[in-house]
Amino acid sequence: MSPRWRSLLKKENRNTDTIASSLWRIACGRVADINGRFSLRDDLVAFEAIQPAASTHGRYLVAGEIHLTNRAALMERYRLDEKNDSLTSAEVVARLWELLENSTAALLEGMFALAVWDREKQTLTLARDPVGGRTIYYTTTGPVRWVSPHLRALESVISKDIDTVALRDYLCCAFVPGARTMWKHIREVRPGSLVRLPDGEARSYWRIEEKIEGPDEPIEWHAERLRSLLETVISDCLPASEPVGAYLSGGLDSSAVVALASALHSKPVDTFSIHFGNECPNELEWSSLVASHCRTHHNIIEITPRDMWELLPETMAHLDDPIGDPLTIPNLLLGRKARESVSLILNGEGGDPCFGGPKNQPMLLSDLYRPATEERAADQASTYLASFQKCWPDLARLLKPDAFKEAMAASFFFEEEMGAEAEFLNRLMFINIKYKGADHILTKVNNLTRAAGLIAFSPLFDQRIVEMSLAIPPRYKLFGAQEKAVLKKAVWDLLPESILLRPKSGMMVPVQLWFKKRWNRQARSLLLSRRARVREFLNQELIREWLSYSGDVWSRYGVKLWLLVSLEIWLQGR
């Protein structure tokens, strides 16, 4: 193993162990009045279970989870250290902050969530990377504001009052989008943003914007540039002489990542696929085809209904806000299997939000045929929420009257982006990257792979790939009825034609079948109990209808029940 990679693994593993054992926190405000095992206490700030790095002259203290892809370039450009490898990433940020202050954040590339204490101004600045690869949360009330990369670390210092707007959004999307969290008095720093404490002032240092380059160039020109950047990004993820793993569904995105990693890496790639037993459809034909084509060491894991139900409490405990996606448990089991042979795992997350996946098509058709009226924006919002196929149509019945009134008084998280100055497809991509990417996909994958002791990278969600995707004309993403056309063109020589041309089917967990055949009794006991936490907000009669599958014309009750079961177990674990 190369010294550089050994150093990275050591730092990542150290961070993972620290988070798992003590959930580090920072307190800002009247810290003299609080008790704790602080590694450093200043006049108005205290660091618990993490040692901050100091800038050259000691004015700034930096702590956080930081992985920089442009670390060497920053050190050389700003002449930070002659030895070039002796500084930690936190020390690099601290020295840059002393030179550039808040302008530093815009220079950093990679995944980071960090806090910078300014001893002179007595302010704590929180920063998060542009695509949301790492998370950081803060409390909003009281004489002391607490900060942590994990929601759980803050739950002991606030009253755990549920935010009904966050609950509404979870029921619609299966995750909590935006700055809100499920707790009323905790907020999340948004991707590409800075938050200053104690006043809570927030501002963006990076925005998702449409910046089309080469508008008259053919698709081949854009595909060639994308291919070159993909090779750079994936090369940056690969250890010098160690095996690497990749999740492989057999769809375009994961197959492209596997093919590029196999072509670029000096060691074989270990791939990991799942299925749900013989009674359920699967994509093993396609994932096995890609594994054979790329000559990977392929592993197939069967996930049973017993696995899904029994591991749900542990899985929800590893998450910050609840995520009602049935793929949470497969992510954890895949991570555990992969950890037997590798320390780093790649995945194909990001292809749909960045390059125009098929889920955008209903929205595009709706926009095309909707007349230009004053109600257009409201219609778009309704269509967008319905596209998640969760509980949006049921909110008026599912939420109790007081909760419904309170929840619907707030605007929806995406309304500003829906009216942005950009082509409609790109506006949808902005929303998907900013919310579904940061608040669902990345936090799910990162939390659960790290729970398994792995380092995870999502190359298609790398900041550099996201920025290039915003420069590609929308017509090369959804090319007629062909989704992700430019991505397909970029990897056309690396994959079998059948993989490139097959329609996306997605990984469907058979929760509809399993609630009917195996989980109904447990779900009734959980959701209809007098001790159920959701009883305060949700209509029990509608839940009974779903559990009896009464009127389930579209076969969606299983997905909705999983959403509620995940929420109830998350709440009970707090």
Tens of pLDDT, residues 126-142 = 999 999 999 999 999 99
What pLDDT does residue 416 have? Answer: 75
Q: Domain total for the chain?
A: 4
End of a domain among 378, 395, 428?
Answer: 428
What pLDDT does residue 184 have? Answer: 97
Model confidence pTM above 0.85: yes
Cα–Cα dist 354/329, whole Å: 25
| Interval 12-36 mean pLDDT | 66
What is the overall mean pLDDT for the chain?
Answer: 89
DSSP string, 553-564: TTS-HHHHHHHH
- Cα 444 off chain centre by: 6
Q: Which residue has the tokens 């940020």?
A: 93
Per the domain annotation, does 506 fall within a domain? no
Residue 55 corresponds to which amino acid? S
Cβ neighbours of 375 (radius 10 Å): 10
Quick one: 251 and 197 in the same domain? no
Quick one: 363 and 414 in the same domain? yes
Q: Measure the CA dihedral 143/148/154/158, to 10°.
A: 30
Residue pLDDT, tens place only, 192-201 = 999 999 999 9
What pLDDT does residue 427 have? Answer: 79
Per the domain annotation, does 484 fall within a domain? yes
Quick one: 437 and 423 in the same domain? no
With b for 16 or more beta-carbon neighbours within 10 A and e for fewer, the 553-572 pattern comes to eeebbbbbbbbbbbbbbbbe
Q: Residue 3: pLDDT above 80?
A: no
Strand extents, DSSP E, 45-98: 45-48, 53-54, 60-68
Quick one: 7 and 69 in the same domain? yes
Per the domain annotation, does 292 fall within a domain? yes
Per the domain annotation, does 111 fall within a domain? yes
Per the domain annotation, does 523 fall within a domain? yes
Cα–Cα dist 61/314, whole Å: 34
Residue pLDDT, tens place only, 72-101 = 899 999 988 766 568 899 999 999 999 999
Quick one: 26 and 99 in the same domain? yes
Quick one: 90 and 198 in the same domain? yes
What pLDDT does residue 276 have? Answer: 95
Quick one: 422 and 449 in the same domain? no
Structure token pair of residue 495 = 């994959």
What pLDDT does residue 503 have? Answer: 76
Nearest residue to 400 (alpha-carbon basis) of 541, 564, 529? 541
- Angle made by CA atoms 450, 132, 391, in degrees to the nearest 5: 90
Quick one: 197 and 283 in the same domain? no
Structure token pair of residue 7 = 């150093």
Quick one: 110 and 10 in the same domain? yes
Per the domain annotation, does 210 fall within a domain? no
pLDDT > 70 fraction of the chain, expressed in percent and rounded: 90
Bridge partners, 297 (sequence order) = 270
| Residue 62 CB partners (closer than 8 Å, separation 6+) | 52, 53, 54, 55, 90, 91, 93, 94, 97, 114, 115, 116, 117
Residue 145 corresponds to which amino acid? R
Contact present, 353 and 470 (Cβ < 8 Å) = no
Bridge partners, 254 (sequence order) = none
| Residue 46 CB partners (closer than 8 Å, separation 6+) | 26, 27, 31, 34, 36, 38, 40
Instruction: Give the domain range for residue 413.
Output: 358-428
Cα–Cα dist 70/86, whole Å: 16
> For 374-388, 469-483, 527-541, which range has the lowest pLDDT when averaged over its residues?
374-388
What pLDDT does residue 240 have? Answer: 83
Cα–Cα dist 129/10, whole Å: 22
Quick one: 61 and 146 in the same domain? yes
Cα–Cα dist 195/145, whole Å: 12
Q: Residue 217: pLDDT above 80?
A: yes
Cα–Cα dist 176/426, whole Å: 22
Which carries the bigger pLDDT value, residue 26 or residue 208? 26
Per the domain annotation, does 211 fall within a domain? no
Residue 235 has phi, psi (to 5 degrees) of: -60, -40
Per the domain annotation, does 214 fall within a domain? no
| Residue 7 CB partners (closer than 8 Å, separation 6+) | 85
DSSP string, 227-266: HHHHHHHHHHHS-SSS-EEEE--SSHHHHHHHHHHHHH-S
Quick one: 79 and 172 in the same domain? yes
Instruction: Please report, for the domain that includes residue 469, its CATH number.
Output: 3.40.50.620
Contact present, 248 and 512 (Cβ < 8 Å) = no
| Residue 246 CB partners (closer than 8 Å, separation 6+) | 254, 257, 258, 261, 269, 270, 271, 272, 296, 345, 346, 347, 348
Structure token pair of residue 132 = 């949301």
End of a domain among 181, 204, 227?
Answer: 204
Quick one: 186 and 104 in the same domain? yes
Q: Residue 263: pLDDT above 80?
A: yes
Which carries the bigger pLDDT value, residue 375 or residue 477? 477
Predicted confidence band at 43 (pLDDT cuts at 50, 70, 90)?
confident
Q: Distances from the Cα of 43 to the Cαs of 27, 46, 172, in angstroms?
A: 11, 8, 44
Residue 493 corresponds to which amino acid? D
Q: Which residue has the tokens 């929806």?
A: 412
End of a domain among 376, 396, 428?
Answer: 428
Residue 379 has phi, psi (to 5 degrees) of: -65, -40
Instruction: Please report, for the domain that includes residue 165, its CATH number.
Output: 3.60.20.10
What pLDDT does residue 144 have? Answer: 95
